[in-house]
Structure 1
C-alpha cells in the first residue's frame, strides 16, 4: 500500500471487512427523524449516554411533536432539558437556530425531504452552529439522502489502517462517495460500523493486540500516526 491507488483497492473492501467483524448494524443511529435532528446537535462533543439523558428529559416534557414542543419552550427551559449533553448554553442556541429554520417549513419534514441533498446541505450550513458533520448526519439519517458522514473516528481509521489523510472534510467525504455506491442503507451502516470499530478496538489508545484487522499500518509500525 505504498501509493494511493493500492490504498484505494484495499479501502474498497473495508465495508465488507468491518461488517464481517461487527455484523449487520442497519441504520445504526436510533430514533425517529425528529429525534435524530435534535440528537445531531446534542451529540456534538459528548458521548451518546449523555445525549440519551437529554432526550429522556425532552420526552418527559414533550409528548407530541418534539420539534414544535421544543420550539415553543422558553430558552431557559430548553437549556435545562439538554443540560446532560454538556455545553448546554451553546447547544441550546444552536438547537434554537435549527428549530427556527424548521419553522420556516412549518415543521413539515416531508416538505424538506423533497429537496436535493446538496440544496438541503447548503441551507443547513447557513444555520449558526451547524457544521458539515452535523448537517450530513441530519441529511443521511433523518432525511435519508446518500451523503457520507465524516467524523473523528472516520479520520482516525483511515489514517491508522490505510495511511490515508486529506486536508479537509469534503475531501474525506468525496473519497468515500467515489469508492462506494451512493445508497442510504450502505452509508448509514458503513458509518455505524466505523464508529463501532473505533470504540471497540481503534480507541485513542488503540487495542492492536485484539483488533481483527491484521493489515493495519498502525499495527505494523513502531510509532503511531
Structure 2
C-alpha cells in the first residue's frame, strides 16, 4: 500500500469510527445576532488555545461574549488590561493579549485571511507554524494542513514516519486530495483519536486503526 493509499485508509477508518468532527467550532448564532465575523472567533481561539486545553479556551470565549465582543475589531479597540481579564481562563493571559492584539491588527480586515501569504502570517509575533496553519485552514479555508504533537505521535506509531513540522506538512499535502474539508476533518480526527486511544501511553485495545499500526501491542 502506498503512503497515499495508507493516509486515505486511516482517514476513512477514523471518520467511520468517530464521525465528522466539524472543526473549528464556532457560535454561529452569536455572530448572527451581533453581526460579527465568525472567522474572528476561529482566529482568536487559535491564539488562545496555545499551551492550554480547549475547555479553558471556551471559558475565555464565553467571557468575551458576555463582557465584551467576540471580534477582532473589539480586540483592536479594547485596552489591554481589560482584554487580559477577559481571556484569563486561557492562561498566559498577558502574553496572549499581546499576541491577540498583534494578529488583530495584522488581519485587518478579516478578509485578509483568505489571501495573506503564510510566510507573512508567520512574521506576526506569537504566531507559530501550527497557529498559522490553523488560522489559514479553518478561517481562511486554505489548503494548509495543520501538524501538532498528536500528528507526530500518530504517524510515527502507525507508519514509522518521523520528520520536522514542515516535513510532515509536506507529506500530508502531497498525498491527500486537494480538499479543504478533508484537511479539516483529518486534523480533527487525529486529535480526537490521540486523546481517546493514541495517548502518551497508547491504549491499543479497541483502537480502530490497530491492524494498520506497526507499533500496536498485539496482546491488547
Q: RMSD across aligned C-alpha pairs, in angstroms?
A: 1.8
Give the aligned partner of residue 192 of structure 1. Answer: 188
**Cα pair distance change 1:162/1:9, threshold 3 Å:** same
**Cα pair distance change 1:180/1:83, threshold 3 Å:** same
1:29 and 2:42 are equivalent in the alignment: no
Match of 2:76 among 60, 71, 80: 71
Give the aligned partner of residue 121 of structure 1. Answer: 118
Aligned residues of 2:3 and 2:175 also touching (Cα < 8 A): no
Q: Alignment partner of 1:148: what SS?
A: coil
Give the aligned partner of residue 44 of structure 1. Answer: 50
CA–CA separation in structure 1 for the residues paired with 2:14 and 2:45: 25
Give the aligned partner of residue 149 of structure 1. Answer: 146
Aligned residues of 2:46 and 2:135 also touching (Cα < 8 A): yes
Match of 2:200 among 204, 217, 222: 204
Aligned residues of 2:56 and 2:89 also touching (Cα < 8 A): yes
Please report how far the alpha carbon of residue 135 of structure 1 lies from its aligned counterpart in structure 2 after TM superposition.
Answer: 0.4
Give the TM-score of the pair, scaled to structure 1: 0.86
Give the aligned partner of residue 88 of structure 1. Answer: 93
Aligned residues of 1:42 and 1:51 also touching (Cα < 8 A): yes
What is the count of residue pairs matched by the alignment?
Answer: 207
Aligned residues of 1:145 and 1:184 also touching (Cα < 8 A): yes
Give the TM-score of the pair, scaled to structure 2: 0.87
1:62 and 2:68 are equivalent in the alignment: yes
* 1:175-186 map, 5 Å: 175-186=171-182
Structure 1's consecutive aligned runs of 4 or more residues displaced over 6 angstroms after TM superposition are none
CA–CA separation in structure 2 for the residues paired with 1:109 and 1:100: 10
Aligned residues of 1:59 and 1:66 also touching (Cα < 8 A): no
Q: Alignment partner of 2:157: what SS?
A: helix
CA–CA separation in structure 1 for the residues paired with 2:217 and 2:44: 41
CA–CA separation in structure 2 for the residues paired with 1:213 and 1:135: 29
